[in-house]
Amino acid sequence: MEKIEKIVEIKKKGIPLLGEDFPEMKVQTTHGIIELPKAFAGKWFVLFSHPADFTPVCTTEFVAFQKRYDKFKALNCELIGLSVDQVFSHIKWMEWIREKLGVEIKFPIIADTGEVAEKLGLIHPGKGTNTVRAVFVVDDREKYA
């Protein structure tokens, strides 16, 4: 019964829909505490979640985003990653990417305890606590300033 209640609770929260405001939150990242969406006021941002650090698909995704980071910035757009891994894991993973693949990840990665992922509807109800792979494109609305 508890599992069914959790699924219903997650479905109620759900992923924010097109046109809805991005929820305000303070997040711990590899660049320190960031207030979203306020930290990117006047800019677009792409928040993308991944299930876990040190996995092949997630690593490929992060390297691909980093290789295009300058193009995003030229479009007045920032990048920010997210998973339920902790800051220490993110930093070690970033070091591994730099050492093994020669790519330095320059954008912040959110270290989530699960609160952010739940707020954004990113926890798969049947898959434990890992975040699902998702991408949010958030506009540069004045109200975020």
Q: Is residue 44 predicted with pLDDT exceeding 90?
A: yes
Query: Per the domain annotation, does 70 fall within a domain?
Result: yes
Task: Quote the tokens at residue 55.
Answer: 């996995």
- Displacement of CA 14 from its chain's centroid (Å): 16
Does residue 58 carry a catalytic annotation? Answer: yes
Query: Per the domain annotation, does 59 fall within a domain?
Result: yes
- Our count of domains for the chain comes to 1
Task: Quote the tokens at residue 110.
Answer: 């959110």
Query: Per the domain annotation, does 23 fall within a domain?
Result: no
| Residue numbers of the domain that contains 112 | 2-17+29-144
Query: What pLDDT was estimated at residue 51?
Result: 87
Please identify which of the residues 39, 47, 58, 84 carries the catalytic annotation: 58
Residues of the chain with pLDDT > 90: what percent? 60
Query: Per the domain annotation, does 54 fall within a domain?
Result: yes
Condensed to tens digits (0 to 9), the pLDDT of residues 51-77 reads 889 989 999 999 999 999 999 999 999
Q: Is residue 5 predicted with pLDDT exceeding 60?
A: no
Question: How does 89-128 read in b/e, with b if 16+ C-beta sit within 10 Å?
Answer: bbeebbeebeeeeebebebbbbbbeeebbbebbbbbeeee
H-helix or E-strand spanning residue 60 = helix 56-67
Query: What pLDDT was estimated at residue 10?
Result: 46
Query: Per the domain annotation, does 24 fall within a domain?
Result: no
Query: How many other β-carbons are positioned within 10 Å of the β-carbon of residue 23?
Result: 12
Query: Per the domain annotation, does 88 fall within a domain?
Result: yes
Q: Is residue 37 predicted with pLDDT exceeding 80?
A: yes
Q: Residue 132's domain is classified under what CATH number?
A: 3.40.30.10
